[in-house]
Structure formats: C-alpha cells, structure tokens
Structure 1
Amino acid sequence: MTPELRSERLSLSAYVAADEAHFVALFQDEAVGRWFGDGVQSAAEDRALFGRIFSLIYAEERFPVWAVRYEGRYVGHAEIKPSPESWLDGHEIVYGLTRESWGLGLGTELARLLTSYGHEVLGLAEVHATVDSENTASLSVLKRLGYTQGRAVPEDNGRTTLLLTSRLPTAPPAGG
C-alpha cells in the first residue's frame, strides 16, 4: 500500500520499527510538531501514534504514510490521505521536515512529489493541503507549486486553517 517514492534528493518509504525514535523526535520538536494536528502532544501519545501507523494504517491499507530520507538519514514524515475534516471532501497531503533539513529546498521537493503522486498515481483531479495561516513556510511552498487558496476555517483555539488546492489543468473540449 505504501510504495517507495523517489525524487532527485529524497527517498520515501514505509516506516520501520527502528524509525520510532526519529518520528517521536520530529513530532516533539515544537518548531515542527506545532503544525501537525492538535500540535505537540506527549511523547507517549506520539509513540502510540507511531504504533497506529503499523496496527491501523498499514495493517488495514488505509493510505500511504512515509518516512522521508535525505542522504540516507531520516528527515521527515509524509502522507496523502482522505481528509478527516468534515468540510473537505477529498485527499490532502501532510508533511513535516526536521529542523536540521530546513533551508535546503526539501519541503518544495517533498510537496511536489506528494502532489504528483496524488494527481498521477491516485488519479486525483484535486490534491488539498490544510495549513495553519501562521505557517508561512508551508504556505510559501504550496503557493510556489501552484496551489490556490480556498476557504479559511476559524478554529476553536482562535487560529485559522487555510485550505489550499492543486488542480489538474482541464483539457479544452474536443473540437472546440
């Protein structure tokens, strides 16, 4: 279910048990983890989440979830999944990179790879991303890749989540 993907510099593969410490460290880093779901959780909750990748996501072949590697080192997390948001009917990409890998253009490369996978392999006309309005780095990456901003959703915590969408170009009508 989780195929290996490669870009010029990145390798995405299914997680293995040995990745747990790296996964937890990524989600525990305030600068990274704050943008995932409800933000930084306890290390125990992140270990349980890592376990659910194997016991639920992979076991039930729900959707692809990848460990992201650069030069053989773990540098992040990625997935493309049906959106859990009631206001969004479609698939969204989720990604995060270690602080040490920032500034190398890997975020753009990773988001491009996930978007291409959604359009070309999964056959999705639209690939979405939901991003906190204050996550300027991710917003910049997605806009660079041609994502357009849709609705803004106010959250209970006072923040705003933005919906961004990559759409496949539509072909002109035949004979038109």
Structure 2
Amino acid sequence: MKELDGKLVLMTERLLVRRWMPDDLEPLLRIYGDVEAMRWVGDGVALTPQQAANWLEVTANNYRQRGYGMYTVTLRDGGSVIGFCGLVHPDDQEKPELKYAFAREHWGHGYASEVVCALLPYAARQLGLAQIIATVAPDNAASRRVLSKAGMTLIDTRAEDDGSQSLLMSCHPPAVAMQ
C-alpha cells in the first residue's frame, strides 16, 4: 500500500477508500458517464470528459479547503475502482452531503452499505462533522435502504428545480455505530 501513503482515507473488510488521483479520470467517466447509473444521481445527466476533469480539480480544492471531498472506492483484493463516495457541499450549502455512485456491475453486493456505514463514523471522529445529510430519489429503494442501514432518517421532502422530488435524510454520525 506504499502508493496509497497520504491518500488512504479508510479501509473496510472488502474495500479501500482513498483520495482522488489524476488516474481516476477514466473510471470517473466510466461510472458517471453511464446513463443508467446516472439515473439516480443529481440531474440524471452523464458527465462529459471536461466536466469529469473539472470535478477532479474541484475535489482537489475541497481537500485543501475542507480536508475532505469525494473519494475513490476500490476492492482491497485487486485495487480496481468500483465506485466513488464522499462528502460535498453542493452550491456551497452549509451541511455536508453524502454522495456515492458505483459501477453497475458492482450493484447488489453490499459495497455501498459497507462504505457508507464506515464513512459516516469517520466523518464524525476524524473530520469533526456533527451532521451529514443525503438526498435520494423516492423511487430509489436500494439507496434508501443503504442510507437507513447507516442510521440516516427521513427529515423532509424537497422539490427540485426540474419538478422532481428528493427525500432529504440526515444523521448525527457520533450516534452511528461502527459496522
């Protein structure tokens, strides 16, 4: 793990979570460029190569300014990138928001639950964050289960700019037990 010195954020039973690196552009495009996967993310539109490159820069700035941002999720036993997760402040909102996305071939294996259940206590203990929020589409039952398993509860329903609805979930990570 020498190449991860200074980049490793946390480790779970099956996964490594590390800071983004320039080499993550290709897997970032593969995952966030997948129209089906993006159905549940943000505005539902796949990222362009330029948007992905810009996001790498924004994330590097977030690491410098906030000490956290988006992270790369890899398998411990092979190192291949299977997804991304992290804490962001869209449109400079006050509370940090949990985000995650995984390559479709890795859906249904419990990786999202594993990483989210580890990331929230990390956010409290290492980053000093008292509250984390997440938004999820009402129809995204799998993601709602992930967030509930991690101790997040529904606090509101939001009307989005495009007319759709999002469920707003929240937790206070110190109350979340380490899985």
Q: TM class by shorter-chain length?
A: 0.7 to 0.9
| Aligned counterpart for 1:72 among listed residues 43, 55, 79 | 79
The yes-or-no answer on 1:129 pairing with 2:134 is yes
**CA spacing shift, 1:36–1:75, aligned 2, 3 Å:** same
Residues 147-175 of structure 1 deviation map (CA, whole Å, 9 limit, x = unaligned): 110110111322111111112577xxxxx
**CA spacing shift, 1:54–1:141, aligned 2, 3 Å:** closer
Residues 93 and 114 of structure 1 are in contact (CA less than 8 Å); yes or no, is this contact kept in structure 2?
no
* Equivalent residue, structure 1, for 2:35: 30
* Equivalent residue, structure 1, for 2:165: 160
* Equivalent residue, structure 1, for 2:16: 11
One-letter amino acid of the structure 1 residue matched with residue 103 of structure 2: T
* Equivalent residue, structure 2, for 1:101: 106
The structure having more radius of gyration, on CA atoms, is 1
Residues 111-145 of structure 1 deviation map (CA, whole Å, 9 limit, x = unaligned): 11121112222222322111122222111111122
Instruction: Give, in angstroms, the shift of residue 4 of structure 1.
Output: 2.1
Query: Identity rate of aligned residues, in percent?
Result: 28
What's the C-alpha RMSD, in Å, of the aligned pairs? 2.5
Which blocks of at least 5 consecutive residues in structure 1 are unaligned?
171-176
Instruction: Give, in angstroms, the shift of residue 5 of structure 1.
Output: 1.1
One-letter amino acid of the structure 2 residue matched with residue 77 of structure 1: F
Mapping of residues 39-78 of structure 1, within 5 Å: 39-53=44-58, 56-58=61-63, 60=65, 63-70=68-75, 71-78=78-85
SS at 2:28 equivalent: helix
TM-score normalized with structure 2 length: 0.80
| Aligned counterpart for 1:142 among listed residues 123, 142, 147 | 147
Residues 20 and 56 of structure 2 are in contact (CA less than 8 Å); yes or no, is this contact kept in structure 1?
no
**CA spacing shift, 1:166–1:44, aligned 2, 3 Å:** same
The yes-or-no answer on 1:151 pairing with 2:150 is no
Mapping of residues 109-120 of structure 1, within 5 Å: 109-120=114-125
* Equivalent residue, structure 2, for 1:84: 91
TM-score normalized with structure 1 length: 0.82
Cα distance in 2 for partners of 1:165, 1:127 equals 6
SS at 1:36 equivalent: coil
Instruction: Give, in angstroms, the shift of residue 38 of structure 1.
Output: 2.1
